[in-house]
Amino acid sequence: MASDGRPIARKPLILYHNPYPIPGNRHKVPETAFSLNTRPDIMIRGHIADTGHGPVGLFLHGFRSHCAGEKAMALTHHALARGYSWARFDLAAHGASTGALWEQTLSGWLEDALAVATLFAPRPLFLVGSSLGAWLAVLMARSGRVPVAGLVLLAPAFNFLERYYASLSEDLRQQWRREGYLMLPDLYGPPGAVYRLGYRLIEDAATHDVLSVPAVLPCPLTLIHGDRDEVVPLAVSQDFVRRVRAPAKRLAVIAGGDHRLTAAIPRILAEVDALWPRADAATGARA
């Protein structure tokens, strides 16, 4: 039971949890911090290292993660070593950005991501999304509101909220609809810790289906998914890559890979390098 006596859902919703603390000054990279007021009471915070030319890489993290995790920082250091412009930011109610998690929706997070992306207009974007971030990256590219020249999608959690909701008992689903939120156990917090998730997130996510309604994307994309993913089945990426319409598409399956894919970071960096020249060429085409 929660402290207010309400029952707690015992089936946890965990798509990504980074065990590493957010680094302070330990990472000496030439980045500039930025803050952006994207919605009332929402301040998005992130970092950008801008070379002043070419496409801009943008990393989108996963659910209940942040932009200073192991993959995020590996991508940042790699980009700076290669001379790529690169940015990363925390979604609302994550990391250093403001907001209450139970009040967030996929539409809100998408608006925040698009607002960050417009900071770099009209330069093309190269989006790398992890889990929830991969879903957002596809929605950004599909929207046509910002120029996206390449996508690398890591264990994309397309439609995960619908699957999670369907996995709950009918009693919990009714409670969630009736009360507007559900208490979920925080397996990475102190004993007995819980967090709230609003029902609006479930309702809103249904409007962003990219599996039943195939996405049409303007750029090449690579999906990277582990065959031992314990959170998002490999079949989700296999289904998506069959249905999506794009100039070029490929699914790289990581043998033994789990949902975090941290052991596959060298492969992720290689896939970024493989697609980056096409994004760079798009910059010249737009000049």
Q: Does residue 281 lie in a domain region?
A: yes
Domain count, the chain: 1
Ranges of the chain whose pLDDT falls below 70: 1-29, 188, 284-287
Question: Domain holding 222: CATH number?
Answer: 3.40.50.1820
What is the structure's pLDDT at 10?
52
**How many helices (DSSP H) and strands (DSSP E) are in the chain?**
8, 10
Domain assignment of residue 103, yes or no:
yes
Is 11 among the domain residues? no
pLDDT for residue 165: 94
CB 25: neighbour CB atoms within 10 A? Answer: 5
Q: Is 9 inside any structural domain?
A: no
Does residue 257 lie in a domain region? yes
Residue range of the domain that includes 197: 32-286
Q: What is the pTM of this model?
A: 0.90
Q: Looking at the chain, which runs of residues are DSSP E strands?
A: 32-39, 42-49, 56-60, 85-89, 125-130, 148-154, 181-185, 194-198, 221-226, 249-254
The tokens describing 144, both together, are 């046509």
pLDDT for the residue numbered 28: 46
The span from the CA of 185 to the CA of 221, in Å, is 35
Considering the domain boundaries, does residue 135 fall inside one?
A: yes
Task: Specify if 116 maps to a domain.
Answer: yes
For residue 27, is it within any domain? no
